[in-house]
Amino acid sequence: MKFYDCSTAPSPRRVRIFIAEKGLDIPTVQVDLRKGEHLTEPFRSLNPWCTVPVLELDDGTAISEAVAVCRYLEDARPEPPLMGVDARDRAVVAMWEHRFEIDGFLAVTEAFRNQVRGLAGRALTGPGNVEQIPELVTRGRGRVERFFTVLDEQLAHHPFVAGERYTIADITAQVAVDFAGWIKMSLPPGHRHAVDWYRRVSKRPSAAA
């Protein structure tokens, strides 16, 4: 296996934390997003969507999309389980992971990519250029506020996002919270359940990934 990463980017960090929690050691290639390495060959042939993370399997298959890479790693190294332990749990984890990817991670992405000058014409990831839409900065920030609130409400009743155990749903939420720092947003101190959870997950050794 070979892991295509960009050590400064939030999206592959979801997989870096997953790998750290699994205790895996996978040869890693850094893709320089600032230099546009993801938009040119040979990376573009590996992943036509021009995104990291990518996991290249030994047979040459390239898996992109963070959740799909994690799905592979969960099968390859089942312990500790990060995607659920039985049918009900797997569905609950998938629900929260998916919801917080959209409401958290992609909401921050929306605000960030439509705002930053250096990403003019690059409002969406992918091989094609997409112009920024300034209204999406405001919309994205509003969505992040709601994400913080829902996160706090859920953690008022459970120690972790999807229940009793640390899972991929925590990873997605945690990376989204850290990514929100890029648009100068952070968990409001009044969201004490989320703040407490964030302290706990940030103390895990995997958070350094």
Binding of residue 111 to its own copies (CB under 8 A)? no
Is 169:162 a contact under the CB 8 Å cutoff?
A: yes
DSSP letter for 182, please.
G
Is 148:197 a contact under the CB 8 Å cutoff?
A: no
Binding of residue 75 to its own copies (CB under 8 A)? yes
Q: With DSSP H G I counted as helix, E B as strand and the rest as coil, what are the percentages for the chain, rounded to 5?
A: 55, 10, 35
By C-beta, is 66 or 195 nearer to its own copies?
66
DSSP letter for 42, please.
T
d(CA 16, CA 2): 13
Binding of residue 45 to its own copies (CB under 8 A)? no
Binding of residue 72 to its own copies (CB under 8 A)? yes
Binding of residue 68 to its own copies (CB under 8 A)? yes
Q: Least separation, in Å, of the C-beta of 196 and its own copies?
A: 21
SS3 category, 148 = helix
Contacting positions for its own copies (CB under 8 A): 48-49, 55, 57, 59, 61, 63-65, 67-69, 71-72, 75-76, 87-88, 90-92, 94-95, 98-99, 124, 126, 128, 130, 133, 135-136, 139, 142-143, 146, 150
